[in-house]
Amino acid sequence: MCGRYASTLPPEMMVELFRLLKGVEVVPRYNIAPTQPIVAIWEQEGRREAHFARWGLVPGWVKDPREFPLLVNARVETMAEKPAFRDALKHGRCIIPASGYYEWHTNPDKTKQPYFITMANDRPMALAGLYASWMGPNGEEIDSVATITVPANPQLSEIHDRMPAILDGEAIENWLNVRDVRAHHAAQLALPLEDGALKFHPVSTRVNSARDDDAGLIEKVEVQKPEPRPRKVAGGGQLDLF
């Protein structure tokens, strides 16, 4: 599960890399947490723009977002079936620019060690996501997103059994093209990256607090190498009701 990430890409570079018609002004963030506003990119009527959206998807059919569970991640295995995600998979696909993300390894003594995970070539990440727009009875509107998770590749399974779906090149184009690429074919783009595509290092447990947000959070600290985790059978997980 991806529950924290960093995004330090300058706005002008984001416009260039992702071919945006319109960007947004942002500052470097090192500890982005659920429920916070994040930058997401999607296409509408052929226009690809960056938007601010709440991290935690709220489907349009929800009556009161305050009474709805927090949907931070959508599992690739079940997102096409669950009412909370299936419409967004058809019409609301997006990407979330990131510099890297955090994951926690559970040690034998049940303590958890955070790791910062980045692309091995140091390029920015494009996390696959889903977005929805909720309209309230008084005209209020909430744009919200969820990131998509896939089974971890063997390299990342040393830390956790899940990882975010990370897109690149033509996969980004097809994922965002909701006009021509059907949900079934788009879902096949959300795959684990191959071994060696990512690198990771342990970081301070300060990242556990969303109140901390500084460049020191992504710096390497010295800890013992994590013991390999047993692979889990797919299925179960977050909010199977939806």
SS (H, E, C) the chain: CCCEEEECCCHHHHHHHCCCCECCCCCCEEEECCCCEEEEEEEECCEEEEEEEEECCCCCCCCCHHHCCCCCEEECCCCCCCHHHHHHHHHCEEEEEECEEEEEEECCCCCEEEEEEEECCCCCEEEEEEEEEEECCCCCEEEEEEEEEEECCCCHHHCCCEEECEECCHHHHHHHCCCCCCHHHHHCCCCCCCCCCEEEEECCHHHHCCCCCCHHHHCCCCCCCCCCCCCCCCCCCCCCCC
Could you tell me if residue 175 is inside a domain?
yes
Rounded to whole angstroms, how far apart are CA atoms 186 and 14?
23
What pLDDT does 240 receive?
A: 37
Q: Which residues pair with 106 in a beta bridge?
A: 112
Neighbours of 76 (CB within 10 A): 22
CA atoms within 13 A on the CB side of 236: 4
Rounded to whole angstroms, how far apart are CA atoms 132 and 54?
10
Q: Which two tokens stand for residue 140?
A: 């209020």
- Using alpha carbons, list the distances in angstroms from residue 224 to 36, 202, 242: 32, 9, 39
Could you tell me if residue 24 is inside a domain?
yes
Could you tell me if residue 87 is inside a domain?
yes
Domain of 145 in residue numbering reads as 4-218
Could you tell me if residue 143 is inside a domain?
yes
| All residues at 6 or more sequence positions from 204 whose CB lies less than 8 Å from its CB, including other chains | 114, 216, 217, 219, 221
Q: What is the pLDDT along the chain (242 residues), one digit of tens a residue?
A: 679 999 999 999 999 999 898 888 999 999 999 999 999 999 988 899 999 999 999 999 998 888 899 999 999 999 999 999 999 999 999 999 999 999 999 999 999 999 999 999 999 999 999 999 998 888 788 999 999 999 999 999 999 999 999 999 999 999 999 999 999 999 999 999 999 999 999 999 999 999 999 999 999 998 866 556 565 555 544 433 33
The total of structural domains in the chain comes to 1
Could you tell me if residue 149 is inside a domain?
yes
What pLDDT does 228 receive?
A: 60
Residue positions annotated with a catalytic role: 2, 103
CATH of the domain at 37: 3.90.1680.10
Could you tell me if residue 226 is inside a domain?
no
| All residues at 6 or more sequence positions from 24 whose CB lies less than 8 Å from its CB, including other chains | 11, 39, 50, 51, 52
| All residues at 6 or more sequence positions from 176 whose CB lies less than 8 Å from its CB, including other chains | 41, 42, 43, 48, 93, 94, 95
